[in-house]
Amino acid sequence: MTAQQQLDVNLSISIPEDKVLVSKVELQTLKEQQLSGVYWSMKEFEERTGKKQEWLKENILYRPKFKKELEGFVYYPQSQGQTWSFQAKEMAAFLDKNFNQIFNGD
């Protein structure tokens, strides 16, 4: 059996005044609150995904395997002149959950 050595060290690290330390749980809560009650337009949805409207419609919005779920937090325009609306928090979670199926063509 070998003996282990242990070294106790006190270390001071300066944190710049414009920075703060937060726990991962608190950071996640803050991120969720940031999207809570926020709605994206189609333009914002395009910016978030880096894809054009036509691609989003074909690969996500009108894709049968996703449409039923999306109807819970996406407003599909019913007539000419109406605009798309997406509940940001739910749409972001959907994109994260289905990333591989959406962007890898599954």
Residue 60, both tokens: 């996500």
Q: At what angle do helices 88-97 and 42-49 cross, to 10 degrees?
A: 30
The tens digit of pLDDT for each residue in 2-53 reads 778 888 889 898 889 998 888 988 888 877 777 778 899 999 999 999 999 9
Dist CA 47 CA 78 (whole Å): 23
Instruction: Tell if the pTM clears 0.75, that is, is over it.
Output: no
The tens digit of pLDDT for each residue in 46-102 reads 999 999 999 999 999 999 999 999 999 999 999 999 999 999 999 999 999 999 998
Handedness of CA 72, 69, 43, 78 (dihedral sign): negative
